[in-house]
Amino acid sequence: MEVASRNLKEVQSFSKREFLKLVAHHSKGSSILDFPIESGIYPIFLLKKRVFRYGYNLPYGLYDELSHEQIIGTIIPFFARLSCAQLTFNIGPGVFQNAYEAFLIAKKWGFECIENTCHTLNTQVPIEAIFEGFNATRKKHIKRYQKSAALNVFRTKDPRYFSAYFQLYEASAKRWGTSTTYSKELLTDLYKVPGIYMWVAEYEGEMLSGMICFYHQQSVFDWLAASIINDNVKKMYPAVAVQYEVIRHACENGYSFVNMGASKNLHGVSDFKDSWGATAQKTYTFVRRKGVFAAIKTIQGRLNR
């Protein structure tokens, strides 16, 4: 079993601008608007569909690692001035003290505030303490993975693994009964973005599980995971091995928490994240629709009831 890298300096932080450039490259009708702030340039993602223009701080439900002061003092006031049919601003955990504050800020700038939930795991304690927070099943599976030493688990930017990942993702989507959200071209090119890494569990050269992670300054977001599920490999626990090594690496390299992603109204997903000792946290999405577009969406909503 390969030991995961433990040198924080080796891990680049997520480049939002490079990510948006890549998404724009693979999305027809999209562009980037750069807004100057004290810490540098803050890019906004713009997307045109038919006659309507949409603005996002980040697409795909992702959010920045921004402070409370940056969001309410600089970014939201600028964002609110954009002329788009729909503006969507995603705000991660820990920014607002409570939902009331979030709703007040949203109202002040003319947004609807949608409350969401994600699960986060505190990694500012020793890995032994984190392990004790796992449930009995999770502990058992981790011990079996460690004892067998059959899997090679590592973090990588090797393009081969990003390319191979799409097959796992596609197979997982079929198993979940959903369609693939992200294109093969986009997922294959993610290795080019600073701060995006793939964690891999491999057995005899075959990729069994993969997880795409975004590394911010203080946190790790495990964005997208997929695994082979069959009788030949399931008792190797490749998905468990990857999740554990992501957590262990974050803990041993000074990250504050691992964000395990959205969990609102996803009971099975919530149960899985609970098994790792993660706790539910509030996130928020500010949305504003204008004019004809707002009227169309209102009518569509009524028709779909």
Report if residue 7 sits inside a domain. no
Residues 240 and 179 in one domain: yes
pLDDT tens-digit readout, 150-209: 999 999 999 999 999 999 999 888 876 777 789 999 999 999 999 999 999 999 999 999
Instruction: Tell me which of 7 and 158 has the higher pLDDT.
Output: 158
Residue 206 — φ and ψ, nearest 5°?
-105, 130
Kindly list the distances between the CA atom of residue 95 and the CA atoms of 101, 102, 111, 122, 218, in Å, as whole numbers in the listed order. 10, 9, 17, 16, 13
Residues 27 and 106 in one domain: yes
Q: Specify the number of domains making up the chain.
A: 2
Residues 270 and 292 in one domain: no
Q: What percent of the chain has pLDDT over 90?
A: 78
Structure-block tokens of residue 264: 């609102």
Q: How confident is the model at residue 8 (pLDDT cuts 50, 70, 90)?
A: very low
Report if residue 8 sits inside a domain. no
Q: How confident is the model at residue 305 (pLDDT cuts 50, 70, 90)?
A: low
pTM: 0.90
Kindly list the distances between the CA atom of residue 30 and the CA atoms of 44, 75, 76, 80, 223, in Å, as whole numbers in the listed order. 11, 20, 21, 19, 22
**Span of 69-73, 85-89, 96-100, 297-301 with lowest mean pLDDT:** 297-301
pLDDT mean over 280-303:
78
Residues 213 and 295 in one domain: no
pLDDT mean over 92-121:
96
Closest Cα partner for 221 from 139, 281, 131?
Answer: 281
What integer pLDDT is reported at residue 1 of this predicted model? Answer: 38
Task: Quote the domain boundaries for residue 46.
Answer: 14-118+283-303
What integer pLDDT is reported at residue 300 of this predicted model? Answer: 63
What integer pLDDT is reported at residue 13 of this predicted model? Answer: 92
pLDDT at 2 over 60: no
In whole angstroms, what separates CA 254 from the centre of its chain? 19
Number of Cβ atoms within 10 Å of the Cβ of 269: 15
- What is the distance between the alpha carbons of residues 140 and 205, in angstroms, rounded to a whole number? 25
Residues 253 and 295 in one domain: no
